[in-house]
Each structure stands twice: as C-alpha cells, then as structure tokens.
C-alpha cells in the first residue's frame, strides 16, 4: 500500500509551469463512513496499475469519466455500487489544482446532476467527506472543467445533421483520452464512444477543432452558409405551394364547373380565365343559392376541354424542357471554348501578340506582327496574321459576354417550367374532382338532389379555404437570401480550412506510421493515414486501401489504436491544443493472452508486449512531462520501463484492491471480466 501514499514527483517541474491543460494526480473514493481510498498517479509519467481481475482496475477509467461530467452513471460492479458513496479525482495544471467529486446516485436514481468542484493548493490532499458540498449543477461543472482544460466552450462548431452548432467541451475531449478494455483492440472502432451515432457526429465535428484546423469565425460563417442554403430551399418549396393557392386550385375550378352543370350558377363569360378571387366568389354564391338554372346542356363538355388543355400543357412542358437542355448545352460549350481560348489568349498576351482593343490603327504591314521588326517583304501575310489576332481578341470578348445572357435565359425558362408544372397539377385536380363529382351525381336522377350534393361539396371546400386564407401571406425573401449566400461565399473564399485539416492529418499520420514501424505492425511499410470522416486508420496498399477492420488481427488493432492515440497526443502537446494531457489504456496486453487465460497465465509474446511499453515510454519522454499515460494491466513484467512505471499491484494474494477489504460488509456475487 506504499504506492498509494507516495509523494507526487516533479510537482515543481518548470516544464509544467505554463501548462495549457490538465493531468490527473489522484483518483479517490469515499465510503459512507467518510473513509478515503486514494490511488496516486504521477503527472508527466507512465503509470501502470497491474493486478488480478475483478479488483477495480477498469473502474479507474470509469471514475475519471464519471467525474468529468458524464451524463450517465458509468460506474460498473456490485462492490463499487454498493460500498462507495463518492467518487473523486484531483486534477493538476502547472501549479493549479482542482478537486472534483461526484456522489453515487441515491436510491434508484439513474445518475446525479450535481457535483463538487473546488480549487486547492498544489499538493493538497482530498478533503474530508463532511467538507464536500455537492451544489454545482452538472452543466456548470462541465463548463468549469472545460475552462480548466483550456477549451473555449463559448465557441460554436458546426456539425453534420445538426441545426445548431455544438460548443466544444471536456466531454468531447474524452473521445481522445480514454480507451476502454473493449475499445483498445477493437478493429471496428478507433475512438472512445465511437459506437454511438451521436458520438460519431460530434467526434467528426470536434476532431478538426482539437487538431487546430478550425478557425472559429470561419466555422460560424460556414454554418450560416449551410443554414441559408437550407432556408433558400425551404423558401422555394413554400413559394411553389403559394403559387398553387395563388391561382385558383384545380379543385376549386372543378367545383365551379360542377356548380354550373348542376344549374347553381350561370355560364361565366368566355374569352378569359377567372381569377382565384372570382372562382371563390362564384363558389360562395353557389353554396347559398336556392334556385336551379338550366345547366350546361348543349355546351362543350368541360371534361373534354380539361383533357385538351392538359395535352397542350404537356406539349408546352416538353418544349420548354428541350429549350432548357439546349441552352445548358450552349452554356457548357461556351465554357469549354472559353477555357481553351483563354489559355491561348494568355499565351499570346504574354508574348505581346494581342493588340490593344483601343488601338485605332493596326501595325504596318511591313512590320512583323510577332517580333515588331522591319519586314519589307511580309506583305499580305503580316496583314492576315494581325487581322486574325484582332478577330480572336474580339471573339473572346463577345463569347465571354454572352454567357451571363444564356444563364439568364435558363433561369427564365426554369421559372416558366415551374409555372407549367403548377398548371398541370391544377389541371389534374380539376379532372379528378370533376370525375368524382360526376360519378356521385350519376346516382341521383333528381336535379335538386344533384345540386344539393354539389353544394355540400362546395361548403366543405370553402371551410378548408377559409382556414388557409387566415394563414399569413408568404413574403418572397429569395433575393435577400441569395445576396447573403453570395456575400458569405465571397468572405469564405477558397477552402483554406480543408487544406489545413488535410495538412495536419498528414503530419499526424506520419507520426502514426513511425510508431507502427516501431511496433512492427502489418502494413507498416505502406503509407498509413488517419481518416477523419470514417474515423479509422487506412493503409494505402498497392492493391487497395485497407481500413483497420480489413487489416485484421488483435495485435494489429491494439497496436494501431495505441499508435494513433500517442501520435494525436504528441500533436496536441506540440501545438498546445486544449486536450487533457492524459491517456487511459485498459489492458492492452489482452491480445497477448490465450482466450481462456486465467490469473497468472503468462503472455504469449513477452517481447512484443515489452516493445509496446517501450514505445509508450519514448512518447512520454519526448513530451517532457507534458503527457501522462495510465495503463490498467493484467500483465506484470519485471523489465524496464514497465517495472518502474508500476504504481500499484492489486492481487488477491496481498489483499490489495481499489475498494479496501474492510469496506465490504456483506458478500456480493463475483462478476466476470478482468
């Protein structure tokens, strides 16, 4: 038990005096009697807790996760849940120290929503239980911890499929600091919590931020641009619906035709189409009339007229589509020609061969148009070359100026096409309603009963129409939205942020490859890269790209996990990024044990496991106290650097464990797992 009372080393190390984020100096638990069990950890060092299974090693990671404002109660195990009352961690940042405690949920509560977060003098021990006050709400505690980590949680980072940008927090940093036992050698996921959909979305958004590739102002503008484009699409849909109700709907016109056929209204004047207001006014008259007029005997069948109108609309629709296709083809050909011609024009202009359009006179025929020197025998050849050069310049100018006109014509034809689609929809509505009305009317021989049925249908329509009429009118804001989109696009310019992310990922990937070589992993001779979208490692082999899941093998999966996390933390430290400077690895040696291994079983490849710890130690040493690795292990090697890194050995043989034996006042069933 001497390890748990060991003094924290390097507490006055000047390398950490200007730290930008925190490490962990202790993990503590309290029982209900107020007794404290503390596991000390050394900042800036590799720390190994080794021991038998089911003695609390894996719980250390969960305690840190819980005390760093997890939404859930992530503590597992009957002993911890039954006999531990409060969980706590001590965080250090240079000469600053923060004590964070969180109680276990009371009774049947799912979790707790208050915490204790207090500043301490550097090196102070955990306070007594009765000195703890749990009054800090979870969200406030998350903000305080984010501040202590150096994270500016007032920023907003856009995320895919999220209407609102996300504020970065210490919770997002945990994706990069924790590797649970079922994650550290998992070939299907690379980061902590990646198996959850909403975690993957947040991780894709936050990884560029933590790497330093995001300019917060630019990110906000990009989010605004996405929202404006979405608004523009929604506005188009709303206006399309408004166009349908702006002109009388097909249903209203069909009902008006039925009213005329039933003798409720006289024939309207011919020669023009009734407006929406006139149609509705006619329907209101028909709904309340008590006389039945002669109807439409002897007049043209309205259904036949509607069918003919539909045929004409479809023909017009086909003509406009063909015209749009031709205009787009012309625009493409213009663009292709301009691209080619502009290259030639640039070459000629560089040589000074293109005459200035403002020149009144062309070069004299007795001078060479290429070099300008005297050429008394050039004659007509020089004149032809010069005229061709002038004509080429003029044609480029003429074709370039015609492209905006073509685009304007395309936009105009597309508006006509939208109007025709609206008219076709209304025409179909008229045909459907009129056909349905006639089927009903055919069952009624009495004209008065037919008229009454039509009036009932009209009344139902008018009730619906009144409700729609009370909705505020749509204001066309497309021009304003397009102007805002254009302004933002100009401000954003080229994809500088994407270039920065690609560059930073490339540099981190080079670090991962170096460590893959040290660990002698499969495909370490191929280019290795971190994929920030797929959230995995990819080996670019001559045959095809191979993701981590394709590479296969537990040792490869574990090795690439460790190589990736070490490389990312190297980058975070070198670039002073606000990611807590610790990495938890829960039993990386599991890949070196037989599947049916029991306590005391030797590892299958001792040299490979030792090489793993040598690689970790090299990274810790290179970062000069700015990085801490905490490993929970089943293995126990007597070689360096493993031996010197061991902070505690929890064995059944020595009675040591996370929860002291005297705290356990009743028997609990054993649980599987290491």
Give the pLDDT confidence of 426-447 residue by residue, as tens digits.
777 777 766 766 666 665 556 7
Contact (CB, 8 A) for 160 and 201: yes
536: helix, coil or strand?
A: strand
pLDDT of residue 370: 55
- CA geometry: angle 73, 79, 83, nearest 5 deg: 85
The answer on pLDDT for 357 being more than 60 is: no
Contact (CB, 8 A) for 399 and 392: no
Token pair recorded at residue 49? 């807790």
Q: CB count, 10 Å around CB of 106?
A: 8
What distance in Å separates the CA atoms of residue 515 and residue 510, rounded to the nearest whole number?
9
pLDDT of residue 563: 98
Highest mean pLDDT among 234-248, 257-271, 446-460, 637-651: 637-651
DSSP assignment of 554-575: HHHHHHHHHHHHHHHHHHHHHT
Highest mean pLDDT among 130-139, 215-224, 243-252: 130-139
Mean pLDDT, range 482-499, rounded to an integer: 72
pLDDT of residue 346: 55
Among the residue ranges 65-69, 430-434, 633-637, the one predicted with the least confidence is 430-434
Burial 46-65 (b: 16+ CB within 10 A, else e): bbbbbbbbbbbbbbbbbbbb
Q: CB count, 10 Å around CB of 604?
A: 14
pLDDT of residue 373: 59
Mean pLDDT, range 134-152, rounded to an integer: 96
Among the residue ranges 20-34, 427-441, 490-504, 611-625, the one predicted with the least confidence is 427-441
Mean pLDDT, range 277-288, rounded to an integer: 80
pLDDT of residue 70: 96
Among the residue ranges 126-135, 209-218, 443-452, the one predicted with the least confidence is 443-452
Strands (DSSP E) found in 219-304: none
pLDDT of residue 16: 43
pLDDT of residue 107: 84
570: CB partners within 8 A, 6+ apart: 511, 619, 622, 623, 627
Token pair recorded at residue 400? 């370039």
Q: Helices marked H in 262-353 — which ranges? A: 276-288, 302-350
Mean pLDDT, range 521-541, rounded to an integer: 96
What distance in Å separates the CA atoms of residue 330 and residue 343, rounded to the nearest whole number?
20
Contacts within 8 Å (CB) and 24+ apart, 273-276: 274/248, 275/247, 275/248, 276/245, 276/246, 276/247, 276/248, 276/252
Among the residue ranges 11-25, 147-161, 404-418, the one predicted with the least confidence is 11-25
pLDDT of residue 446: 62
pLDDT of residue 296: 46
Q: Comparing 127 with 457, which gets the higher pLDDT? A: 127
Burial 242-275 (b: 16+ CB within 10 A, else e): ebbeebbbbbbbbbbbbbbbbbbbeeeeeeeebe
Q: Comparing 359 with 124, which gets the higher pLDDT? A: 124
Q: Comparing 450 with 90, which gets the higher pLDDT? A: 90
Contact (CB, 8 A) for 672 and 69: no
Q: Report the mean per-residue pLDDT for the chain.
A: 81
Strand 178-179 and strand 545-547: pairing? Answer: unpaired
pLDDT of residue 654: 92
The answer on pLDDT for 609 being more than 70 is: yes
Among the residue ranges 118-122, 328-332, 431-435, the one predicted with the least confidence is 431-435
What distance in Å separates the CA atoms of residue 120 and residue 572, rounded to the nearest whole number?
26
The answer on pLDDT for 468 being more than 60 is: no
pLDDT of residue 387: 67
Q: CB count, 10 Å around CB of 650?
A: 20
The answer on pLDDT for 233 being more than 80 is: yes
pLDDT of residue 384: 64
652: CB partners within 8 A, 6+ apart: 52, 55, 599
What is the percentage of the chain residues whose pLDDT exceeds 90?
46
pLDDT of residue 8: 38
What distance in Å separates the CA atoms of residue 122 and residue 16, rounded to the nearest whole number?
13
Among the residue ranges 280-294, 303-317, 353-367, the one predicted with the least confidence is 353-367
pLDDT of residue 584: 98
316: CB partners within 8 A, 6+ apart: 420
pLDDT of residue 267: 74
Q: Comparing 310 with 514, which gets the higher pLDDT? A: 514
Mean pLDDT, range 404-413, rounded to an integer: 76
Q: Comparing 526 with 197, which gets the higher pLDDT? A: 526
The answer on pLDDT for 302 being more than 80 is: no
pLDDT of residue 1: 38
- CA geometry: angle 171, 515, 606, nearest 5 deg: 100
pLDDT of residue 330: 77
User: pTM to 2 decimals?
Assistant: 0.63
Burial label, 595 (beta-carbon count in 10 A; 0-12, 13-18, 19+): exposed
Q: Comparing 322 with 635, which gets the higher pLDDT? A: 635
Q: What is the pLDDT of residues 86-97, one digit of tens each?
A: 999 999 999 999
pLDDT of residue 115: 98
pLDDT level of residue 135 (50, 70, 90 thresholds): very high
Mean pLDDT, range 584-595, rounded to an integer: 88
Name residue, tokens 């996760």: 65
Mean pLDDT, range 64-71, rounded to an integer: 97
Q: Using DSSP, how many helices (H) and how many strands (E) does the chain show?
A: 17, 14
Mean pLDDT, range 194-204, rounded to an integer: 91
């Amino acid at each position: 038990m001497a390890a748990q009372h060991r003094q924290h080393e390097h507490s006055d190390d000047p390398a950490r005096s200007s730290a930008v984020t925190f490490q962990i100096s202790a993990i503590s638990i309290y029982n209900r009697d107020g007794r404290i069990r503390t596991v000390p950890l050394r900042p800036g060092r590799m720390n190994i807790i080794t021991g038998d299974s089911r003695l609390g090693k894996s719980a250390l990671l969960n305690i840190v996760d819980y005390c760093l404002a997890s939404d859930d109660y992530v503590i597992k195990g009957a002993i911890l849940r039954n006999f531990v009352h409060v969980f706590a961690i001590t965080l250090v940042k240079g000469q600053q120290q923060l004590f964070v405690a969180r109680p276990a949920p009371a009774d049947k509560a799912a979790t707790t929503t208050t915490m204790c977060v207090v500043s301490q003098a550097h090196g102070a021990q955990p306070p007594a239980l009765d000195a703890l006050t749990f009054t800090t709400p979870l969200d406030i505690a998350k903000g305080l911890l984010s501040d202590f980590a150096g994270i500016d949680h007032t920023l907003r980072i856009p995320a895919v499929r999220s209407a609102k940008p996300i504020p970065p927090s210490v919770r997002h940093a945990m994706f990069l600091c924790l590797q649970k036992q079922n994650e550290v050698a998992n070939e299907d996921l690379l980061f902590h919590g990646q198996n959850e959909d909403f975690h993957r979305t947040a991780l894709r958004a936050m990884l560029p931020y933590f790497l330093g590739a995001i300019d917060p102002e630019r990110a906000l503008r990009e989010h605004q641009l996405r929202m404006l484009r979405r608004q523009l699409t929604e506005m188009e849909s709303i206006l399309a619906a408004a166009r349908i109700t702006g002109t009388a709907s097909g249903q209203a016109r069909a009902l008006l035709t039925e009213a005329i056929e039933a003798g409720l209204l006289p024939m309207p004047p011919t020669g023009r189409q009734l407006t929406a207001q006139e149609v509705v006014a006619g329907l209101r008259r028909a709904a309340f009339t008590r006389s039945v007029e002669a109807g439409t005997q002897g007049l043209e069948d309205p259904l036949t007229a509607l069918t003919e109108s539909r045929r004409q609309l479809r023909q017009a629709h086909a003509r406009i589509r063909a015209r749009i296709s031709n205009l787009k083809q012309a625009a493409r050909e213009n663009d292709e020609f301009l691209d080619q011609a502009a290259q030639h024009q640039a070459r000629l202009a560089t040589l000074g061969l293109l005459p200035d359009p403002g020149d009144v006179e062309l070069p004299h025929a007795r001078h060479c148009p290429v070099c300008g020197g005297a050429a008394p025998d050039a004659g007509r050849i020089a004149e032809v070359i010069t005229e061709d050069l002038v004509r080429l310049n003029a044609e480029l100018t003429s074709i370039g100026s015609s492209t905006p006109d073509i685009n304007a014509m395309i936009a105009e034809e597309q508006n006509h096409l939208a109007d025709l689609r609206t008219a076709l929809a209304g025409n179909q509505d008229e045909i459907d309603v009129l056909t349905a009305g006639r089927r009903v009317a055919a069952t009624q021989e009495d004209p008065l009963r037919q008229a009454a049925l039509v009036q009932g249908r009209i009344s139902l329509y008018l009730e619906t129409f009144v409700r729609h009429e009370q909705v505020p009118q749509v204001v066309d804001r497309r021009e304003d939205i397009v102007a805002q989109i254009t302004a933002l696009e100009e401000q954003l310019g080229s994809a500088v942020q994407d270039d920065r992310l690609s560059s930073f990922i490339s540099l981190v990937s080079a670090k991962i490859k170096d460590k893959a070589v040290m660990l002698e992993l499969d495909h370490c001779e191929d280019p290795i890269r971190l994929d920030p979208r797929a959230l995995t490692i990819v080996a670019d082999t001559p045959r095809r790209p191979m993701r981590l899941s394709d590479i296969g093998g537990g040792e490869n999966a574990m090795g690439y996990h460790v190589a990736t996390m070490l490389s990312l933390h190297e980058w975070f430290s070198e670039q002073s990024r606000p990611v807590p400077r610790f990495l938890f690895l829960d039993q990386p040696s599991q890949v070196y044990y037989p599947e049916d291994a029991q306590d005391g079983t030797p590892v299958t490849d001792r040299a490979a496991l030792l090489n793993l710890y040598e690689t970790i130690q090299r990274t810790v040493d290179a970062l000069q106290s700015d990085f801490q690795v905490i490993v929970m292990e089943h293995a126990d090697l007597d070689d360096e650097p493993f031996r010197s890194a061991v902070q505690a050995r929890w064995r059944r043989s020595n009675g040591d464990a996370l929860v002291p034996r005297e705290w356990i006042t009743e028997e609990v069933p054993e649980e599987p797992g290491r």
